[in-house]
């Protein structure tokens, strides 16, 4: 018996997905008035393969504190924790495909080979038609530590720019990071 099967909502991520995860669980500000570190405003914009904004994506970020330690039991470094910073954020994108996080520049964390990684923010993107989260990283353009980052070094030189947030020329504390889901400017995503 030949039947054509149509995917149902249980088989694909649709535009409804981010509503259940962001309506009550949005976390746009990772900082308090006393959080340690250089405060930044991180604007993430999500685009489809044709360069059009994705208005119904969900972006999650996870990062170390200003000292380079994650608020997680498996991070047992002797660096101090900041009780005013948990390192996690989650937001839905708006009609322009944007969301804005209030956070800090993270400190450097150890790499697997004992070297230090450049300051970075881990990102997960969920969107319609995406069956699994897309994992990427945000590095900060012009940070001298980028040259020695062991993970960034794995990315072909011509694609590294897709992982670099750019400082807003008009507002030095604002950083812009574009996420292209596919197409000519596709962001580098990691298989984790």
CATH of residue 32: 2.60.130.10
Q: Using CA atoms in the order 191, 122, 177, 19, what is the torsion angle rounded to 10 degrees? A: 90
Is residue 133, in this structure, part of any structural domain at all?
yes
Is residue 82, in this structure, part of any structural domain at all?
yes
Q: Count of domains in the chain?
A: 1
Which structural domain, as residue segments, surrounds residue 38?
28-180
Which has the closest alpha carbon to 102: 1, 155, 28? 28
pLDDT score at 11: 47
**The model's pTM:** 0.89
Is residue 9, in this structure, part of any structural domain at all?
no
- Which positions ≥6 away from 184 have C-beta within 8 Å? none
Q: How open is the CA angle 41-71-142, to the nearest 5 degrees?
A: 40
Is residue 153, in this structure, part of any structural domain at all?
yes
Is residue 124, in this structure, part of any structural domain at all?
yes
Is residue 138, in this structure, part of any structural domain at all?
yes
pLDDT digits (tens, 9 = 90+) for 100-151: 999 999 999 999 888 999 999 999 999 888 878 999 999 999 999 999 999 9
Is residue 39, in this structure, part of any structural domain at all?
yes
Is residue 5, in this structure, part of any structural domain at all?
no
Kindly give the confidence (pLDDT) of every residue in the chain, 192 residues in length, as a single tens digit, with 9 standing for 90 and above: 566 766 554 444 555 555 556 566 688 899 999 999 999 999 999 999 999 999 999 999 999 999 999 999 999 999 999 999 999 999 999 999 999 999 999 999 999 888 999 999 999 999 888 878 999 999 999 999 999 999 999 999 999 999 999 999 999 999 999 999 999 999 999 998
How far, in Å, CA of 112 to CA of 51, rounded? Answer: 35
Put the strands of the sheet holding 120-126 in their side by side order. 88-92, 58-62, 120-126, 134-140, 164-167, 174-180, 39-47, 98-104
């Amino acid at each position: 018996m030949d039947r054509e099967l149509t995917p149902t909502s249980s088989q694909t991520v649709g535009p409804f997905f981010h509503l259940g995860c962001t309506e009550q669980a949005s976390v746009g500000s990772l900082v308090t008035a006393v959080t340690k570190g250089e405060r930044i405003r991180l604007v993430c914009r999500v685009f489809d393969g044709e360069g059009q904004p994705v208005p119904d994506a969900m972006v999650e970020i996870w990062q170390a504190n200003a000292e380079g330690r994650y608020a997680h039991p498996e991070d047992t470094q002797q660096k101090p924790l900041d009780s005013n910073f948990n390192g996690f954020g989650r937001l839905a994108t708006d009609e322009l495909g944007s969301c804005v996080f209030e956070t800090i520049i993270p400190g450097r964390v150890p790499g697997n080979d004992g070297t230090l990684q450049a300051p970075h923010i881990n990102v997960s993107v969920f969107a319609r038609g995406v069956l699994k989260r897309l994992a990427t990283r945000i590095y900060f353009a012009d940070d001298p530590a980028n040259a020695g980052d062991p993970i960034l070094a794995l990315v072909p030189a011509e694609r590294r720019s897709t992982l670099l947030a750019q400082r807003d020329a008009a507002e030095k504390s604002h950083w812009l990071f574009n996420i292209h889901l596919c197409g000519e400017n596709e962001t580098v995503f990691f298989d984790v």
